[in-house]
Chain A
Amino acid sequence: MEFSLLMNAIIAGLLLGGFYAAVTAGISISFGMLDVVNIAHPAFIILGSYVAYIVNARYGIDPIVVGIIALPLFYLLGAAVYQIFYLSFEKRGQDSLRGLAFFFGLLFVTEVFLVLVFGVDYRSVDASYIGSSLHIGSLEFPYRMLVPCIISLIMFAGLQIFLGRTFIGRAVMAVSQDPLALRLMAVDPTRIKRVAFGISIATASLAGAFLIIIQPVIPSVGRDYIGRIFAICVLGGLGSLPGTLIAALLLGVIESITSTFYGPSWAPAVSFGILLLTLAVRPSGLLGR
């Protein structure tokens, strides 16, 4: 019994980790590669959840399909935010303190705005697979966790192929390593960063859809994810997508085991512990350069 409890905790953790990977992918691009510390990323994810919620409640479209349809919108939103950030902070060379404050303000404004529009009630979506589970022996795979996890892994693989194989993707990797050299190659680093930031925010659209499938959402839930996504991003190594994936699965499993054996109210402390430990012992992360 103890063993199957542990196995189920590990499986739940891996599924959760797959979802965390989707949540962190955007931060891994913006913070890890572009050096833009977008602490407002969870706010965009919650925004994605509410978009999925509105369309699902109105037209009954599957939240993941909504997430995919909304990708271009979130891309444009991201590109616009980056443009403001670039003109106001990066260009003037004072992006550290005020840039952080800017994103923090954005996080806060989005949250309060959602509270004003939707109130603080929990919102959830309907889809045919929510509520049932796949059973293999004594192991249980709830579909509401399994579906987001699988699509998240597909998205992750897609991002990795995009960054490694296409011209734009390689330019993004280059801008994270040496923007000046990129400029010498007649590529505009700002444009590349805008595209990359747009992509990072676009991932929030899908991640938000996953989130509202996995759990009911209120505007303030984004805060719980700030510590988590940065812990994953730092643990995995800045700018390394495979590292991010490994770290996400690891954190998922540790959190799931913690909440199974010590109670769910302790789970939020896990990510912070990991973050501090990583920063103290190995700041470059698992697969960092």
Chain B
Amino acid sequence: MRTYVFVLIQAVIAAALYLLLRFFGNDYMFFAGYTVLQFIILATAWNILGGYCGYVNFGSAGFFAIGAYTSVFLYTIGQSPEDVFPSSILPAMQAIFPLPVPVIIVIAGIMAGLVGLGTGYLTLRLRGVFFAIATLALAVVLQTLIVNWSFVGGSRGAYVIPPNTVPVIGPYIQYLFILMLLLTIIALTTARLIERSRLGVGFATIRDDELAAEACGVPTLKLKLVATVISGALMGMAGAPFPFYIGYTEPGSVFDLGYAVNTIAMPLIGGTTSWGGPLIGAVLLGTLQQVATVTISSAVNLLIVGLLLVGFVIVAPNGIIGLWQTWFGRRSKP
């Protein structure tokens, strides 16, 4: 399948989904759908580094939070540019701010990508484990920084109040939902492109045997950094619309460990070797959690995710896709 066909199919599915929810659903469906889409993007992004390269990132919440807080930061500036900028450039800045959400998303992606680059550069030269530990600690430190940074609300949190409606589309949540659909298409297409390119082959060599790859002349550090930057940037982009979605952003909710667990659990449950795995995992777990949060409780649904994660890595190392391939004849790739 050519890439443009793939994008076209996704666009058709996305449009169908939107129209279906618009005419047969209600606003809650858009709120729930937003969360599932957010998880698809996060899981796909995680899988670019985790599934293709074999490097575990525990700091998804950190990258997500960089996106969210870039948003809060830019929104806060946009509320009163005259407090921030000197009078010489004020007219120009007043023309630019407040920034539209898509621009904020791009900036958030760049910020998160840069943080990924920095962390990766310091730790990816060592064994993979050190990178994993560094990302785990990264989330804690970013949280410390945000808590101490009063401009974006500190530990009190910050309000980001979106307008009620958007021209043409209508309710603001639908606008955010469409943005998330676009981001999802971008994430899935990126993942699929990587899989089928030289880059993806390079990533796979790193995952299978890094030493041998290095010996064959694969520039492993460079490839790992590319993967970290792409993965981090996508996570940041997924986080950028979040303050507009939730309305009130505080460090505790953005740095929730639940993001890290979900982001890891979804690809591992779906299957890590192709773009379809994270998608399946995210749709299944995301929907399951939406249902469980409403019907049981949010703590129990996190327990379910944790148990599923532990269960799957023990029993079905190649996830649902792996199970499918063993049950229905086709041998899974070695």
Where the two chains meet, the residues of A that have a C-beta atom closer than 8 Å to any C-beta of B are 37, 39, 84, 88-89, 92, 94, 96-98, 100-102, 104-106, 108-109, 111-113, 115-116, 220, 223-224, 226-227, 230-231, 234, 263, 265-266, 268-269, 271-273, 275-276, 279-280, 283
Contact = CB atoms under 8 A, between A and B. Distances in A.
Interface string B284-301: 000000000000000110
A227 B147 contact: no
B200 interface: no
- Across chains A and B, which 8 residue pairs bring their CB atoms closest together, nearest first? A227-B137, A109-B306, A105-B310, A105-B309, A272-B141, A108-B306, A88-B314, A98-B313
A279 B130 contact: yes
Task: Among B129, B132, B137, B141, find the residue whose CB has the most chain A CB atoms closer than 10 A.
Answer: B137
Contacts of A92: 317
A265 B137 CA distance: 15
A230 B138 contact: no
Interface residues of B, number: 44
Given A96-B129, A226-B137, A272-B138, A101 B306 contact: no
A108 B257 contact: yes
Nearest to A116: B299
Contacts of A223: 140, 257
A224 B257 contact: no
> Which applies to chain A's interface (DSSP): helix, strand, loop or mixed?
helix
A279 B303 contact: no
B136 A39 contact: yes
Given A39-B133, A101-B268, A115 B299 contact: yes
B144 interface: yes
Contacts of B317: 92, 94, 98
Interface stretch (B85-93, B120-128, B216-224, B238-246): B120-128
A227 B140 contact: yes
Given A88-B313, A105-B310, A108-B261, A98 B268 contact: yes
A227 B126 CA distance: 17
Given A101-B268, A265-B148, A266-B148, A272 B303 contact: no
A32 to B, nearest CB: 12
Nearest to A275: B137
A106 B307 CA distance: 8
Contact of B313 (A102, A108, A234, A269): A102
B307 A272 contact: no
Contacts of B264: 101, 104
B188 interface: no
